[in-house]
Amino acid sequence: MQLHPIPVFTDNYIWVLHDQRRALVVDPGEAGQVLQWLEHKGLELDTILITHHHADHTGGVAELRQATGARVIGPAREPMPEPLRRVSAHDRVEALGLVFEVLEVPGHTAGHIAYHCTDVDGAPLLFCGDTLFSGGCGRLFEGTPAQMLDSLTRLSALPDATRVCCTHEYTLSNLKFAQAVEPGNAALAEYTAHCQQQRALNFPTLPSSIGLEKKINPFLRTRETAVRRAAIAHAPHTPDDDVSLFATLREWKNDFR
């Protein structure tokens, strides 16, 4: 199996997974570059997976379906380009001989889902849309801090080796914020240097992994003393509970430049 991110728009990736013959794509915000890439590689599009309703994740679905006949799978509770198969928690999606489990991860949007496969050539794989980013998490457009924290907590319980395929290249700006939260985190400093090199060469910083994110992503580290102290130093009236600390961290990031 091969995994490849097609960069589109300013900072989106359309992830493609293929077996040299058939392909699946995730969150195609546009169709032209996907069709071009599939043709270049001689691949047939089998399946389109969608994580949530935002246009930069769904804008290419209708054209891709029409051009390739691919089936479309998306979240049960979001406005979606019909027709499609709608899936929710614990549903299984079979594609390219793999089985993906559907996880409901509300927060960024109310019906956001993710797709997790326990074994793609020996390692788990996660397509998480705009829920978990490397070094950060999605903005709370429709969900509550409690929902997003719960979603991220369940994602962080996946095996450390899980490759994390996020939809945006936000890593460097996320890491700038992460360093403001945890200036003493050595793993974070090392990862930042690595990502700066990658971006200087115009390479993606993704996929990340769950094991790495647990070491460097402040939104998965709200139980860490250093993260709690930083959140309370930033907003001294934050109550000392997990959801309030997470909410403070998310609001702090919204205003961070």
Q: Is 234 a catalytic residue?
A: no
Size of the site for Zn ion (CB under 5 A): 3
Per-residue interface string for the shown chain with Zn ion, residues 33-62, x marking contact by CB under 5 A: ---------------------x-x------
Determine contact, residues 78/53, Cβ cutoff 8 Å.
yes
- At its nearest, how many Å lie between Zn ion and the CB of residue 58? 10
**What amino acid occupies position 257?**
R
H or E element, residue 40: helix 32-41
- At its nearest, how many Å lie between Zn ion and the CB of residue 59? 11
Provide the sign of the torsion angle of the four alpha carbons 8, 13, 19, 23, taken in this order: negative
Q: Is 108 a catalytic residue?
A: yes
Backbone angles phi, psi at 75, to 5 degrees: -70, 145
Instruction: Give me the catalytic one of 54, 112, 116, 150.
Output: 54
Per-residue interface string for the shown chain with Zn ion, residues 124-143, x marking contact by CB under 5 A: ------x-------------
Q: Is 19 a catalytic residue?
A: no
Q: Is 53 a catalytic residue?
A: no
H or E element, residue 210: helix 210-216
- At its nearest, how many Å lie between Zn ion and the CB of residue 104? 15
Contacts 24+ apart (CB under 8 A), 187-191: 187/215, 187/216, 188/215, 188/216, 191/135, 191/215, 191/216
- At its nearest, how many Å lie between Zn ion and the CB of residue 255? 19
Q: Which residues are catalytic?
A: 52, 54, 56-57, 108, 130, 168
Q: Which residues bind Zn ion (CB under 5 A)?
A: 54, 56, 130
